[in-house]
Chains A and B, each alone.
Chain A
Amino acid sequence: MTFIAKPKVAHPSLPKNALGLTRRDYEGALSTLCAGCGHDSITAAIVEASWGLGLEPQNLVKLSGIGCSSKTTAYFVSGGHGFNSVHGRMPAIAMGANAANRALSYIGVSGDGDTLSIGLGQFCHAIRRNLNMLYIIENNGVYGLTKGQFSASADIGTKAKKGETNFQPPIDPVLLAMTLGASFVARSFSGDKQQLVPLIQAGLKHDGFALIDVLSPCVTFNDHEGSTKSYAYTREHYEPAVHADFIPLEREITADYREGEALPVVLHDGSRIVLRKLDSAYDPTDRSRAAAHIQERMKVGEYLTGLLYVEPSQNEFHQVNGTPDAPLNSLPYEALSPGSKGLEKLLARYR
């Protein structure tokens, strides 16, 4: 249970990041999820990514809705504030929090039920506003805490543990996000840490809404034969199309890629994502062609993974709103109140 404190003992030989912190400093409470749950691997990837980026733990704000996935925000970076809100409404809390303080990093963890059913509206509108956050969907096609109902991401023909077949078409968050104009869309697999860690780093540094849909098998309710979201099925059908490396500002590497093979994408703070196309026909910078390609592969049962679309130049919420660089919650009251003289002026038209 999460109220059992996890002992924090760091061996002196553990590697340290630029802040002098070890990976242990980015961990959270003990997970209460089932042993082997894909979500725990994602938690580990978030720990690794945050440590690697050298994030100040207190500068990471963790947000979630309701469900197995949403519990995980308690399991990483305990030095950052967490807000486990209500079902499907995490984007609203994230929007408000981000509006109040644009200087922090926001990571939202949600599930396929939380995002694609009850929270579909808020998910879409967070994209529309280009809310500056990393939004991770831990996607397993099933409702776990209520014991195995299909979610909106369940594929046609997939079988439930008790044998029932799903006949309703899935809502694919990647295609949906691309259609809605998202500026950073990725898909990954909880079992592929190598792919996932740089994606999380790039997503956190991306200036705008970053989505990573992570296929994350549910060992208890959706890991059987006939399921299209099992470990076995996912391993067999996921197909990395683009590999993304995240290169922070301070690590200047120029010799690592050759023109034509790799594509550098420069982020607002000068750090870069270097994309390597694994599928030569795929273009992660052309929204409509990329979407068409993803759809075609889906028809034959393949899930393209990697950073599937990225466009760093779009305006995020604060740029559109015209908020100052200083967080709104840091503005002194004197800068906010027009004072008694200001009131006099404002009241003139009501006389």
Chain B
Amino acid sequence: MSKADPTRINDFTIKIATVNGTGSASANTLLMKSIFRSGIPVMGKNYFPSNIQGLPTWYEIRVTKDGYVARSGRVDIMIAMNAETYARDVKEVAPGGYLLFDSTWPRPALLKREDITVLGVPLARLCNENFNGVRTRILMKNICYAGVLAALLDLDLAHIRGLLAETYAKKPQLVESNMKAIQLGYDYARTHLECPLPLRVAKMTHTAGHVMIDGNTAAALGCLFAGATVAAWYPITPSTSLMDAFKMFADRMRIDAKTGRRNFAFIQAEDELAAVGMAIGAMWNGARAFTATSGPGISLMNEFLGLAYYAEVPVVIFDIQRVGPSTGMPTRTQQGDLLLSAYASHGDTRHVCLYPANPEECFYMAVQAFDLAERLQTPVMVLSDLDIGMNDWMCRDLKWDDSYRPDRGKMLGREEILKLEKFYRFLDKDGDGIGYRTLPGTHPKAAYFTRGSGHTQYGAYTEDAAEYQIVLDRLMRKWATAKRLVPRAVIDATAGSRCGIVSLGSCDGAIHEALDVLKQRGVGLDYMRVRSFPFSEDVERFLAAHELLFVVEQNRDAQLRALLTLETAVDKAKLRSLLHYSGLPISSSFIVEGVLAELQPGARRASVEAAHG
């Protein structure tokens, strides 16, 4: 063990290795939430298998007084509950760290590392002596390690009890049995181990005004508040929980008090093709509608996306990205659908994409997606990912402005139609590339024909070259309008450096931390996080103003970099890629190492020398 002062308050990472389907998720959430309720910023990440029961699963809890939201890249305390993964779990502990294992059975191989402290607690024995039934014993063993950790970390048991009481409000006997397991572990640790550890928690007040929420839940809330009434989807990891959450919220807030009727339609489609088709049909007919999916679903939706683009039907699609290609790794995270989404479908198509960085943005961008889709009469895709969507993030309180009213865009009602000599759906009357639409049922004069085949600006079928091009060129004018309406990039140029980082989405947390670390090491970098496609005007300016830019993203093929080179005038040579595509969320250390490798004195590449002047 290291001889330096080992005490580290509120700044360490715990990793818990368990077996899928053994109830460890509740134990881990319990621990994380207890720390959160102690006022200490905390991050929780779940690395789970595409499996119902039996495969290894890990959960990482980072206690972070500085409020960082990304992985640190190191493990200080390992809870090794899975015999199958012991060997690699032991290896992962940082020197000076701790390993907790179930000492019911001797595991001499574990003791091989001299530079970590190994703590044994007979969890299985404790639970076998105190609980009946095989299943209960397995579940309680996991709750029991939470008790041990509570003692080791000096965590307030009152928070754990409070959380259990809330979770099992309708089953008080479960509160007692869970609390008993907690107490067993807690008492054993207090009697047999030196408690608390030098790594421990101490109450703070930094979580007030915050919530602990995952991005899918936040996006579902956004759909609810945007006034979405039709939700159609086909189950696919990791997007399913968005639909589950929408249904849960709608079942609570959208039931007519008098009639008991549901002010929403919830449709499980036969596949993703149908799901997006339903959302398109519903929005064409004036309801706010959406679907949620992941990469494989976007692949299938390409055909309909092209139709909605060309026929100018608004629709909102959430893509909770996972690891590709093909089925890939369904329960791991990636930003691999950037190019696919931007240009989905055959022919000249381009789609508005929004890139939320965290659950808070998922909420606000969900609402914005509906407004943009209706204003621009085109599909809007919200590109979240598994890390944002399925992990709990500490976010600022979500706020709602009661003066909000949906922007339905250019829509003509009966009265307006009656005043017109004749109505044409696709005429650009205002010069912004956006025509006026009407809804079925308005008036015979309001009727128009929607088609994916060639059409004139008056809405009629055509195979005439000039008439076809008029519509296609107008769609590009609409794209220019989109550029002005989409969310702007978030730019931090306070470092005043000639070098910078460009990134998007869930990389944001790791980048903020990396920027702090780099600053301490004497490297100040500017930072731009793009939040939409098309890129807003400020993106072009930031790119032009810097000599060397690290493009940080989570895919192999540098898709953001490709989009930047395709859509801006940036000199490709000054864009340096830092690519993380293992399926685990990107860590701050990955970025720090990548930047330093490039910027350290003696770096070989000429462009780096140029960047240094």
Contact = CB atoms under 8 A, between A and B. Distances in A.
A86 interface: yes
Q: How large is the interface on A (under 10, 10 to 19, 20 to 34, 35 or more residues)?
A: 35 or more
A329 B285 contact: yes
B175 interface: no
A58 B277 contact: no
A256 B234 CA distance: 50
A96 B230 contact: yes
B230 to A, nearest CB: 5
A124 B269 CA distance: 12
B150 interface: no
B440 A89 contact: no
Contacts of B269: 92, 125
B278 interface: yes
Contact of A81 (B265, B276, B304, B440): B440
The dominant DSSP class at the A interface is helix
A86 B307 contact: yes
Nearest to A349: B166
A342 interface: yes
Contacts of B227: 333, 336-337
A249 B613 CA distance: 87
Contacts of B249: 338, 346
Contacts of A321: 262, 265-267
Contacts of B264: 323, 328
Given A82-B449, A324-B261, A57 B444 contact: yes
Contacts of A91: 274, 277
A37 interface: no
16 contacts: A61-B285, A95-B232, A95-B274, A96-B232, A96-B277, A97-B440, A99-B265, A99-B287, A100-B281, A100-B283, A329-B439, A338-B225, A340-B399, A343-B400, A346-B249, A351-B212
Given A89-B304, A97-B281, A322 B225 contact: no
B303 A86 contact: yes
Contact of A96 (B221, B278, B462): B278
A93 B447 contact: no
Given A58-B441, A322-B262, A125 B225 contact: no
A190 interface: no
Contact of B253 (A95, A129, A342, A350): A342
Interface in B394-436: 397-402, 404-406
Nearest to A73: B449
B490 to A, nearest CB: 24
B211 interface: yes
Contact of A100 (B221, B285, B461): B285
Contacts of B229: 100, 328-329, 331, 336
B448 interface: yes
Interface stretch (B19-27, B451-459, B561-569): B451-459
A328 B596 CA distance: 56
A2 B462 CA distance: 8
B398 A95 contact: no
Contacts of A350: 211-213, 217
Contacts of A29: 460
A103 B439 CA distance: 13
A95 B304 CA distance: 15
Which one of A58, A79, A82 has the highest number of Cβ atoms from chain B below 10 Å of its Cβ?
A58
A133 B398 CA distance: 41
A336 to B, nearest CB: 4
Given A79-B444, A338-B253, A350-B211, A100 B462 contact: no
Q: How large is the interface on B (under 10, 10 to 19, 20 to 34, 35 or more residues)?
A: 35 or more
A54 interface: no
A290 interface: no
A50 B307 CA distance: 29
A1 B278 CA distance: 30
Nearest to B453: A84
Nearest to B458: A3
Contacts of B103: none
Contact of A335 (B252, B263, B450, B462): B263
Contacts of B462: 3
B221 A343 contact: yes
Contacts of A85: 277, 307, 452
Contacts of A125: 269-270, 274
Contacts of B232: 95-96, 99
Which one of A82, A97, A349 has the highest number of Cβ atoms from chain B below 10 Å of its Cβ?
A97
Interface of A: 1-3, 25, 29, 57-59, 61, 73-74, 78-86, 89, 91-101, 103-104, 121-122, 124-125, 129, 317-318, 321-325, 328-329, 331, 333, 335-340, 342-343, 346-347, 349-351
B271 A347 contact: no
B225 A1 contact: no
A241 B445 CA distance: 41
A96 B313 CA distance: 12
B273 interface: yes
B398 A100 contact: no
Nearest to B221: A346
B450 A92 contact: no
B279 interface: yes
Interface string B352-363: 000000000000
B441 A59 contact: yes
A80 B287 contact: no
Contacts of A343: 221, 225, 398-400
B582 interface: no
B286 interface: yes
A331 B263 contact: yes
Nearest to B401: A340
Contact of A347 (B211, B259, B406): B211
Which one of B217, B261, B441 has the highest number of Cβ atoms from chain A below 10 Å of its Cβ?
B441
A83 B452 CA distance: 9
B273 A97 contact: no
B259 A95 contact: no
Contact of A99 (B213, B230, B406, B452): B230
B308 to A, nearest CB: 10
B287 A329 contact: yes
Contacts of B448: 81-82
Nearest to B446: A58
A183 B398 CA distance: 47
A58 B253 contact: no
Contacts of B263: 323-324, 328, 331, 335-336
Contacts of B460: 2-3, 29
A323 B284 contact: no
B261 A101 contact: no
Given A99-B282, A333-B405, A338-B253, A89 B277 contact: yes
A43 B585 CA distance: 57
A328 B265 contact: yes
Which 9 pairs show the lowest CB-CB distances between chains A and B?
A: A96-B281, A92-B277, A79-B444, A100-B287, A96-B282, A96-B278, A329-B286, A93-B281, A100-B285
Interface string B320-355: 000000000000000000000000000000000000
B211 A328 contact: no
B586 interface: no
Interface in B218-242: 221, 224-225, 227, 229-230, 232
Contact of A97 (B224, B260, B282, B447): B282
A89 B460 CA distance: 22
